[in-house]
Structure 1
Amino acid sequence: MTTVLRRILAPLLLLAALAAPAAAAPRSHPLTAEDRAVVSEAEQYLNGIRTLQSKFIQVGPDGRQLGGTFSLSRPGRMRLEYDPPVKDFVVADGTILTYWDGEMEQQSSTPIGSTLAAFILRPDIRLSGDVTVTNVFRGQGAVEVTLLETKDPGKGTLTLVFEDRPFQLRKWRVVDPQGLTTEVALLNPKAGVQFASDFFYFREPARRRDIFK
């Protein structure tokens, strides 16, 4: 997978392993009882999602915006596709996470468990253990939960942003090891979506064919 594709997809793969060197870990703040209650509510909400589909807008560190569709079927399956002209997509079939680089017309695959994409795909989501919550922030109408990978805190941070009434995921923000921020906002997410049985299986798109006259 190319560096450009890796940077585009990392926010939607929830801190999938990056090729960049690790930076110093961000400082965490002791969680209060109120913070822990928010974390527990976030866990309960995430575990309550079985299927979900949403349009999204992704804003990169350079201000570039990309749109697309994010689909989720827990446990184990997800698919994300960017709107044209971007042809890249990612699909997880329950075991393997496959990246398609539309420009290079190449695929690369990795076990789901080797990335933190597994965090949102696992049957039982816990914001503890292999992930550590470093901060909980309450703003007007929203709460933010920031976490990192416990065993490799220099890999970057992921902040989940929830609307508080009703409590639901609205966006996430990734800060990579270089301190660059990418934010993804969900637009009118819908839960309880029915997907075709083969929707989360990788199929290689038809390759371009040059026509010589």
Structure 2
Amino acid sequence: MMKRFAFLLACVLSAAPVAAVAQAVPAQLRPAEAGWVSRVQDSLNAITVSKSRFQQIAPDGKRTTGTAWLSRPGKMRFDYDKPSPLLLVANDGKIVYQDRDLGQVTTIPLDRTPLGLLLRPNLRFSGDVTVTGFKHDNGLVQITLVRTANPSEGSLTLILNEQPLTLRSWVVQDAQGRETQIDLFDTQTGISLVPHLFDLPKEQN
């Protein structure tokens, strides 16, 4: 069970950081592509509250589902469907991951995870974030991002529907090249969320 907990934690967040061995190489964007990047940035910054169903596809192909709530900036909750006992909550600048069967929690800084990029108060695809890939095809816009100072830690690829421009999924690639995909569906926006959704889990006695 401990292995399951550690594996799923890595799937959603990312692998542990490794020393950077290369500089981030920015994508060479044409003007139209740069325009799409700007539109995606503005679209994500416009998100305040949402609720979605999600499917997670792990590197080994295992699929799990659940419900995700978002309250920008800084708050998110991933509640996995039973029989999974797993819960992830982002709040107060950190991520807390709980296995409710084991009564175990793990806490890491939010800014060390891909979710930290999505939950920033003012998301910018520049400066400490570098766009390394762009694709626009078949009604989808795909943007790959790395942390400028540590590109070897892995990447985050955002996939959005073109019309309307909405976040559809993201893919985390860790330092070893393993990919985990989160797909969102049945998304609701402009809804009211109860504050206790984002209470951070505590270690069970």
Would the TM-score normalized by the shorter structure come out above 0.5?
yes
Counterpart of 2:163 in structure 1 is 165
Structure 2 counterparts to residues 72-151 of structure 1, below 5 A: 72-151=70-149
Distance 2:6 2:144 in 1: 21
Question: Unmatched 5+ residue regions in structure 1?
Answer: 208-213
Distance 1:205 1:183 in 2: 28
Measure how far apart 1:119 and its partner are: 1.5
Structure 1 residues 24 and 173: CA distance shift in structure 2, 3 A? farther
Distance 1:159 1:58 in 2: 14
Give, as a single letter, the amino acid of the residue that structure 2 aligns with 1:62. Answer: D
CA RMSD of aligned residues (A): 2.3
Q: C-alpha deviations, 1:74-126, integer Å up to 9, x for none?
A: 11111111111111111122333211123432112233334343222221111
Report which of the two structures shows the higher radius of gyration computed on alpha carbons.
Answer: 1
Aligned residues: 203
Contact 2:47/2:72, CA 8 A, preserved across alignment:
yes
Counterpart of 1:5 in structure 2 is 5
Structure 1 residues 86 and 78: CA distance shift in structure 2, 3 A? same
TM-score w.r.t. length of structure 2:
0.88
Give, as a single letter, the amino acid of the residue that structure 1 aligns with 2:111. Answer: G
TM-score w.r.t. length of structure 1:
0.85
Structure 1 residues 168 and 66: CA distance shift in structure 2, 3 A? same
Which range is displaced more, 176-185 or 116-125?
Answer: 116-125
Structure 1 residues 24 and 137: CA distance shift in structure 2, 3 A? farther
Query: Partner of 1:37: helix, strand, or coil?
Result: helix
| Identity, % of aligned positions | 35
Distance 1:161 1:142 in 2: 7
Structure 2 counterparts to residues 6-85 of structure 1, below 5 A: 6-10=6-10, 12-13=12-13, 15=14, 18-19=15-16, 21=18, 28-85=26-83
Query: Partner of 1:36: helix, strand, or coil?
Result: helix
Give, as a single letter, the amino acid of the residue that structure 2 aligns with 1:148. Answer: V
Measure how far apart 1:27 and its partner are: 5.6
Contact 2:26/2:130, CA 8 A, preserved across alignment:
no
Give, as a single letter, the amino acid of the residue that structure 1 aligns with 2:146. Answer: L
